[in-house]
Amino acid sequence: MKTGSEETGETLRQQDIRHDEELRQFAYTVTHDLREPLRMIGSYSQLLSRRYIDRLDSEGREFLDFINNGVQRMDSMLRDLLAYSHHSQALDHPLSSVSAEAALEGVLLALEKQIRETGAQITHDPLPEVMFDFNELTQVFRQLLSNSLKFHGAAAPQIHVSAESTDETVTFSVRDNGIGIDPRYHDQIFGLFKRLHRDEYPGTGMGLAIARRIVTLRGGRIWLESEAGSGAIFHFTIPN
């Protein structure tokens, strides 16, 4: 016979499963239903550009650019929303022993263009093997490194990845010399579509939300140490 606490835990688990499924269905419906008219807007905007660009003055061309940029941004937001919802299926994927160093090296190859363009130097300590999903760990590293590459100051990005193991957890840290974040916003930046620098930097504001969702669904946590203008250190844990 189950105790009261066991029954409560099972009820909460079932509620989480139901909420995750509802989120997946909502995200699929929204992205599917909205991307179709969005594609149509983009197609007709491009058609206007090709056929009538010579008849438009500078203001008209600027209006078309606003439309095209808005379509691209909305499409990116919808794709990221769908990606976020898919990570609610994380518990369906079995854990295995994966090399954190191999996951990081794959991300560095994928980000080679951004690294070269920013002149970034990325170093890392020897990283351990952990019980995780390889693709999910790769996604977390990619989101954190992309964040550091994007929000750099006047100096070229200097990024260092390290890990510290205990009997209970492995804590990974991604340190950078970027613009930093005021402590008032440390929790806010992990929210959906949260962007502190809307005009200065591109993006949908979903990257850190995706990273947090992956880590928390696997029983870890993610947090930030930073002051405005003093760089940032993102930490996340993986249970041993």
More confident: 230 or 72:
230
Structural domain harbouring 101? 95-239
16, pLDDT greater than 80:
no
Q: At what angle do helices 100-110 and 134-150 cross, to 10 degrees?
A: 50
**Residue 140 sits in the same domain as residue 57:** no
More confident: 175 or 29:
175
**Residue 189 sits in the same domain as residue 235:** yes
Mention every residue, 6+ apart, whose C-beta is less than 8 A from residue 182. 227, 228
**Residue 36 sits in the same domain as residue 143:** no
49, 64, 90 - which closes a domain = 90
88, pLDDT greater than 60:
no
Cα separation, 66 vs 27, in Å, equals 26
List the CATH number of the domain containing 110: 3.30.565.10
Q: What is the pLDDT of residues 186-233, one digit of tens each?
A: 777 887 655 555 555 554 567 888 888 889 888 899 999 988 888 999
Q: Are 158 and 112 in contact (CB under 8 A)?
A: no
For the segment 45-60, the average pLDDT, to the nearest whole number, is 87
Could you give the residue ranges of the DSSP H alpha helices within the chain? 4-52, 58-86, 100-110, 112-118, 134-150, 207-217
**Residue 73 sits in the same domain as residue 101:** no
**Residue 109 sits in the same domain as residue 212:** yes
Q: Please name which of 90, 78, 83 lies closest in space to residue 209, comparing C-alpha atoms.
A: 83
How would residue 54 be classed by pLDDT, with cut points 50, 70 and 90? confident
Cα separation, 239 vs 156, in Å, equals 34
Burial of 138 (0-12, 13-18, 19+ CB in 10 A): buried
- Dihedral of CA atoms 198, 135, 24, 235 in degrees, nearest 10, equals -50
Count the domains in the chain.
2
**Residue 177 sits in the same domain as residue 79:** no
Give the number of other CB atoms < 10 A from CB of residue 96.
11
pLDDT at 27: 62
90, 105, 126 - which closes a domain = 90
**Residue 196 sits in the same domain as residue 99:** yes
List the CATH number of the domain containing 65: 1.10.287.130
**Residue 84 sits in the same domain as residue 121:** no
90, 112, 143 - which closes a domain = 90
**Residue 138 sits in the same domain as residue 204:** yes
**Residue 123 sits in the same domain as residue 156:** yes
- In the chain, the largest separation of any two C-alpha atoms, in whole Å, equals 78
Residue 171, phi then psi, degrees to nearest 5: -110, 120
**Residue 83 sits in the same domain as residue 198:** no
**Residue 69 sits in the same domain as residue 165:** no
Least confident range of 46-60, 96-110, 115-129, 200-214: 200-214
